[in-house]
Amino acid sequence: MAGEVAVRNKQVILRDYVSGFPKESDMYVTTDSTVSLKVPAETRNAVLLKNLYLSCDPVMQFLIRNSQQKMRKYVYCTPGSPIRGYGVSQVVDSSHPEYKQGDLVWGLTTWEGYSLITDIVPETSLVKIHHTDVPLSYYTGLLGMAGKTAYAGFFEVCPPKKGDKVLVSAASGAVGQLLGQFAKLSGCYVVGSAGSKEKVDLLKNKLGFDEAFNYKEENDLEAALKRYFPEGIDVYFEHVGGKLFDAVLLNMKEHGRIAVCGMISQYNLPEPEPLKNLFQIALKRLNIHGFTHRDYDHIVPKYYEFVLPYIREGKIVYVEDIVEGLENGPAALVGLFTGRNFGKQVVAVAPPQP
């Protein structure tokens, strides 16, 4: 077609459905295909995106499995096609009335240089970026799904009161580092659990946590929690599951609250770790709330109003672990599950068009 430009399109292809922990060999990188930089004439309500940053998120492992429980079919990946995930992108061409060329967006895209996206739910699967005085990469985390998750979890699901004693697991991760900072801004005492000395240092010295510990170095997690919470935990933000969750149950205060948005330690075990202390739910009258950012699209504007001033004033900081190049994406994604990342894991694909 006249005026159409086709370019090589680097892609991260799912080789086959993943079982157990994702491995680099479950994916491969190819530049075999080309892509037209126009939305095909007959395709309505579509955008052609140039991907700038891709986000590595624990939830992605579910999208690359042959799951029986596909909750939103359109987000799942199929072998032979690029994997899907969240990212920050620029609209190159659009047949969708809500998006025009040059728009910056964050949301569901595919792991390739350019993505033709045809299944758009505006403000849900693809959100327009209006604030560009902050790093664009933040829209993969702090201002994206992770930020929405942290804000919803903290202010809607389990709002802590001033003086509450708060525990955050996976505390240096994309969501955890925000939860800790929200807790400090709200006058709480906050302790973070993380998986290395460097992460513990980060929590205490850069992110303002009152205390932090390396769960891998604690033989007795229950005793560790008693050390930091001699009177018990008011609010726990749960991302890991397993032994830590079990120890937390024993250390909760009466009427304590737990917000669960993930259990990353349990996703890939052949058998989940047995939990022994569930009776504490009855004994201590605990409240446990599962939640996902997907129920909270509507709070994004309120969240931005809250968080952008803090970011601009440097009162909320965000640690990102950015690797350069789509070809380094599979290793970055796989590293999430061994805790190799240091802060929010991002893949930088390309700079935006000026």
Residue nearer to its own copies on the CB measure, 111 or 237: 237
Residue nearer to its own copies on the CB measure, 62 or 310: 62
Residue nearer to its own copies on the CB measure, 32 or 271: 271
22 binds its own copies (CB under 8 A): no
263 binds its own copies (CB under 8 A): yes
Residue 272 Cβ vs its own copies, minimum distance, rounded to whole Å: 5
287 binds its own copies (CB under 8 A): yes
Give Cβ neighbours of residue 328 (< 8 Å, ≥ 6 apart). Answer: 347
Q: In the window 32-71, what residues touch its own copies (CB under 8 A)?
A: 69, 71
Strand positions, DSSP E, the chain:
6-8, 11-14, 27-30, 34-36, 47-55, 84-94, 104-110, 114-117, 126-128, 165-168, 189-194, 211-214, 233-238, 252-260, 287-290, 320-324, 344-348
307 binds its own copies (CB under 8 A): no
Interhelix angle 242-251/221-228, nearest 10 degrees? 50
Q: What's the CA dihedral at 275, 71, 19, 336 to 10 degrees? A: -70
Among 17, 21, 291, 303, binds its own copies (CB under 8 A): 291
Q: Identify the helix (H) or strand (E) that includes residue 146.
A: helix 145-151
Give the position of tokens 């709330």. Answer: 289
* Structure token digits, residue 329: 């994406």
Rounded Cα–Cα distance for residues 12 and 238 (Å): 31
133 binds its own copies (CB under 8 A): no
Among 8, 44, 72, 276, binds its own copies (CB under 8 A): 276
Question: Which residues make beta-bridge pairs with 340?
Answer: none
20 binds its own copies (CB under 8 A): no
Residue 73 Cβ vs its own copies, minimum distance, rounded to whole Å: 15
223 binds its own copies (CB under 8 A): no
288 binds its own copies (CB under 8 A): yes
64 to 103: interface string for its own copies, x by CB under 8 A: -----x-x--------------------------------
Residue nearer to its own copies on the CB measure, 29 or 59: 59
Residue nearer to its own copies on the CB measure, 245 or 318: 245
Give Cβ neighbours of residue 216 (< 8 Å, ≥ 6 apart). Answer: 195, 196
Rounded Cα–Cα distance for residues 13 and 40 (Å): 22
Residue closest to 189 by CA, chosen among 219, 216, 167, 158: 167
Q: Which stretch binds its own copies (CB under 8 A): 6-14, 24-32, 269-277, 337-345?
A: 269-277
Q: In the window 162-181, what residues touch its own copies (CB under 8 A)?
A: none
DSSP assignment string, 80-101: TSB-EEEEEEEEEEE-STT--T
Residue 67 Cβ vs its own copies, minimum distance, rounded to whole Å: 10
- 152 near 295, Cβ under 8 Å? yes
Among 28, 31, 283, 298, binds its own copies (CB under 8 A): 283
127 binds its own copies (CB under 8 A): no
For its own copies, the binding residues (CB under 8 A) are 69, 71, 241, 245, 260-263, 266-267, 271-292, 295
